[in-house]
A and B are shown apart, each in its own frame.
Chain A
Amino acid sequence: MEKSIAELRETFKNGGTKSISWRQSQLKALLQLINQNEDSIFKALDQDLGKSPVESYRDEVGVLKKSVTYTLSCLEKWVAPKKAEVPLLFFPAKAEVMPQPLGVVLIFSSWNFPFTLALDPLIGAISAGNTVLLKPSDLAPACISFLVETIPKYLDNKAIKVVAGGADIGERLLQLKWDKIFYTGSPRVGRLVMAAAAKHLTPVTLELGGKCPAIVDTLSTTPSKAKVTAKRIVGGKWGPCNGQACIAIDYLLVEEKLASALIELLKKTIKRFYGENIKSLKSISRIVNEHQFQRLVNLLKDPNVADSIVYGGSVDEEKLVIEPTILLDPPLDSEIMSEEIFGPLLPIITLKNIEESINFINSKSNPLVIYAFTEDETFKKRILSETSSGTVTFNDSMVQFLCDSLPFGGVGQSGFGRYHGKYSFDTFSHEKSILHRGFYPEIEPRYPPWTDFKLLFIKLAYEFDYFGLILLLLWFKRS
């Protein structure tokens, strides 16, 4: 493994990844990889997670194709240096900021979107001109096999490598020196990654999670808006990998008096989307493995929590399936309300007044996304200014992920750093400042020995008081 990494460093040092044409060829090759292997990718995702092709296309294949195409169309623009303004005092001078690759980067990806979370950061790293080691999570074995086998067939082996393995491989990798580490996963491991990075002063981007709330304030508007709200909530909870997503809706906040109407709408929508009961469940991913299954089942073990189930609750251990489950007001100190759920359980918390949702959300750590279904403009402004999250999405769920011009990342416990679109390019670049100066004219007061005149001159210069400078020079010249 150390040999592979040495090779990555050598390739970078020799400038193998610097040229725009290399970056473009790699991105095109990645696009080809995806286009030519769509069926295998669908198959792997079905094997590992029970994802249907539509979900796989929507959340993985389509997202990646869009990302590569967008990056290819913008790459030349992003790589170009940006001019910076220079004040007259420095004349003649030219200032610019030039993006440069960081070097050899390490990308850790998660199991729930095994292609997107591995290849989207890879797109950023390649576009910025780095060499990359990709370490996907071992909880999605079919997807990893695919990546390990297929990437070397399409991409430059000397610059881009994939390594399979578990936590022990991850630990070994963290002992080495990287120029950047990009990690998607849990806060617990995020801490370990950052602590390891600290030893080498390696900058990191941590894409973590949190309990993403959805504030529901549109049930009493029109029936059609209420229906759309319900669809978007259901689509935003069980749609992305059956709730096992960092941006999935974790819990709902709604006014007491509207709770039963909401539950009825949700039930109808769930049945229509996914089937009447656990036996006829379709168009939904399964739980990734036994460990996660047990964790979720345990969340329901607490009798007070079990009592609050108003829909669903059935589980099938053999198939690793838990049906979409709704809970109404489980105890606030239960685990299901303090841990990120990351599964198909949806607690609904009722409030006297929907405005209380702001305090409720602030009592927990900053989530990756806050969803708010509301048409009240004042309330929207309050949510924006009084809460903190990576992103805020009004009147929908999940779609912000498709917006290449919005930075995607967390704040506080949901992480730091961001990517998507140009932000991916930036996250894997160093912005180098460059100042070009001429030899003339020379400003004598820059140099010692110091005198009062020189002090005054420089003070005026620093205030860009050109008029004062002229006066000073004239007066002194005369005396």
Chain B
Amino acid sequence: MASEVEKKAVFDIDSAKEVVQELRASFVAGKTKDYEWRRTQLKAMLKLMDENEPQIVAALRDDLSKPELESSIYEIAMLKNSCKLALKKMKHWMMPEKAKTSLATFPSSAEIVSEPLGVVLVISAWNYPFLLSLDPVIGAIAAGNAIVLKPSEISPATASLLAKLVANYMDSSCIKVVEGAVPETTALLEQKWDKIMYTGNGRIARIVMAAAAKHLTPVVLELGGKCPVIVDSGINLQVATRRIIAGKWGCNNGQACISPDYIITTKDYAVELVDSFKCELELFYGKNPLESKDLSRVVNSNHFARLLKLLDEDKVSSKIVYGGERDKSNLKIAPTVLLDVPQDSLIMNEEIFGPLLPIITIDKVEDSFDLITSGTKPLAAYMFTNNKKLKEKFVEKVSAGGLVINDTTVHLAEPTLPFGGVGDSGMGAYHGKFSFDTFSHKKAVLYRSFAGDAPLRYPPYTNGKLRLLKSLLGGSILGIIRALMGWSKA
């Protein structure tokens, strides 16, 4: 008991080294490569969720005051689906892919074989602490790796529940959870990993990538950005408003990487849009949203203070058209809509990650594209319109991780779409087969036979050989015949 307490008290570089050594030994022994092992682990994860749903919901309530529906659906149900998909398709994903061969290497056959990378590190975020921890782990297991999961300390109840459940249900010689904060994460980052997946913000992402560079470790960075929503006129305004609300306040109260961050609409349409928000927000959350049970709270006092700073900036506070109420003791800020905040305000220059929704107005809808492209590339961008040409322009001009037209955030649930960022919103992607691929090395394999050994490959080099080589590489049968005849003459 005493040594366990001791062990828990100090997780330093040596502890991190030990953990990696143990996992590497398990990996080298072939434990995680075995198909049956991968299946049992994924099944164990399903069981983990089935048997502990109330505890998971409770932990999420502790950490984030997350409404039960959000926890059950966005964290647990989505994860279960991801697990089931991997169980169903894993065998197929693991099969080698045939590759075509050309005349230049005839006779030969080629394939691409997926192999696990080895020992991987998954660092997850606090806003969907369950989903963002275990979803990457599903991919890593399916691909046959040994894994260390480092959940965020900002959601401590979920982190310690994860540590307990993973230890109880899964193979601890191959999958471990390390709890802790900056010192523990730093100790982990000093080690050599075969892949690191990080979900979080750009500042820490740079630290993760710099640490990975020392060992030439490839990384996946799932970051964020200011996800814009362009709202055109001539649409079903009620449906559009509700979908924006669902994606904003319905997703952990705006604290989600793909939550709509701000809205762009025309000056003419703004008033109607604001009215629609006022109406729907009241229908959803009532007249006293601070008391609604259907909204997460702001995660902690640091973020609470950060959001108030955005809201209370002089040139911004006067632009509130709905909401603005706050309850410091319960860390709650009411859904707040602002109209026409200045472009140089704080709220328009950092990712909001909270329940504040600024609306920016422009003269024509087309102007919104330049506005978006003048900023850094976000993780997602949304547009509500019925205009086909505008849709095409939106898709062509706006660079973001993913785009959705006439809805928000739902592309997350689509496992056939790669989920990841570009530029400042990150690199790499996952979900569905993309998770399997991201934790695999795709090894190229070429099988050659001893027949057909062309002397022209080998020195001494002559002009005849050069001619024949040119036509062989050029792939033209006629050229080859001509050269062969010419060569045999020479």
Contacts and interface: CB of A to CB of B under 8 A. Distances in A.
The secondary-structure label for the interface of chain A is mixed
Contact of B403 (A86, A203, A406, A434): A434
A216 B99 CA distance: 25
A98 B450 CA distance: 42
Contact of A418 (B209, B242, B417, B442): B442
B405 interface: yes
A442 interface: yes
B406 A438 contact: yes
Interface string B92-106: 000000011110110
Contacts of B243: 446
Contacts, number: 298
Interface string B422-435: 11101111000000
Interface in A171-218: 179, 187, 190-192, 194-195, 197-199, 201, 203, 206, 208, 218
A95 B416 contact: yes
Interface string A395-407: 1100110111111
Contacts of B395: 98, 434
B235 A439 contact: yes
A403 B115 contact: no
A415 B216 CA distance: 7
Contact of A435 (B105, B404, B447): B404
Nearest to B238: A442
A161 B202 CA distance: 30
Interface stretch (A144-152, A260-268, A385-393): A385-393
B342 interface: no
Interface string B197-240: 00000100110011011101010010100000000000110011
Contact of A66 (B33, B104, B218): B104
Contacts of A62: 469-470, 473-474
A399, A408, A450, most chain B CB atoms within 10 A = A450
A203 B239 CA distance: 38
Contacts of A447: 242, 245-246, 250, 284
Q: Chain B binding site: helix, strand, loop or mixed by DSSP? A: mixed
A395 B447 contact: yes
A65 interface: yes
B340 interface: no
Contacts of A87: 414
B209 A434 contact: no
B419 interface: yes
A385 B269 CA distance: 61
A435 B403 contact: yes
B391 interface: yes
B473 A399 contact: no
Contact of B110 (A85, A97, A385, A403): A403
Contacts of A140: none
Contact of B443 (A53, A411, A455): A411
B474 A66 contact: yes
A282 B460 contact: yes
Nearest to B442: A407
A362 B487 CA distance: 45
A435 B427 contact: no
A237 to B, nearest CB: 12
A403 B453 CA distance: 17
Contacts of B466: 53-54, 57
A395 B414 CA distance: 43
A259 interface: no
Interface string A57-70: 11000110110010
A206 B217 CA distance: 10
B73 A395 contact: no
Interface in B428-452: 428-429, 441-450
Contacts of B28: 362
A9 to B, nearest CB: 12
B104 A391 contact: no
A273 B459 contact: yes
B286 interface: yes
Nearest to B237: A439
Given A194-B216, A225-B450, A385-B33, A406 B110 contact: yes
Interface stretch (A110-118, A120-128, A456-464): A456-464
Given A66-B473, A388-B441, A282 B209 contact: no
Contacts of A197: 209, 213
A432 interface: yes
B135 interface: no
A437 interface: yes
Given A411-B117, A431-B418, A400 B69 contact: no
A190 B462 CA distance: 38
B399 interface: yes
B282 to A, nearest CB: 11
B63 interface: no
Nearest to A232: B453
Interface string A327-367: 00000000000000000000000000000000000100000
Interface string A418-455: 10000000000011111111111010001111100011
A392 B213 contact: no
B403 A431 contact: no
Interface in B460-478: 460-462, 465-466, 469-470, 473-475
A418 B418 CA distance: 19
Interface of B: 28, 33, 67-69, 72-73, 77-78, 80-81, 99-102, 104-105, 108, 110, 112-113, 115, 117-118, 194, 202, 205-206, 209-210, 212-214, 216, 218, 221, 223, 235-236, 239-240, 242-243, 245-246, 250, 284-286, 292-294, 373, 391, 395, 399-407, 410-411, 413-414, 416-419, 422-424, 426-429, 441-450, 453, 457-462, 465-466, 469-470, 473-475
20 contacts: A52-B459, A54-B459, A63-B473, A95-B417, A201-B423, A224-B450, A232-B453, A239-B459, A274-B459, A282-B459, A394-B448, A403-B99, A405-B101, A406-B444, A412-B194, A437-B406, A438-B406, A439-B240, A447-B245, A463-B80
Interface of A: 13, 52-55, 57-58, 62-63, 65-66, 69, 84-87, 90, 95, 97-98, 100, 102-103, 179, 187, 190-192, 194-195, 197-199, 201, 203, 206, 208, 218, 224-225, 228-229, 231-232, 234-235, 239, 272-274, 282-284, 362, 384-385, 388-396, 399-400, 402-408, 411-413, 415-418, 430-440, 442, 446-450, 454-455, 458-459, 462-463
Given A399-B448, A432-B400, 6 more contacts: A54-B469, A231-B457, A239-B459, A392-B443, A417-B218, A433-B418
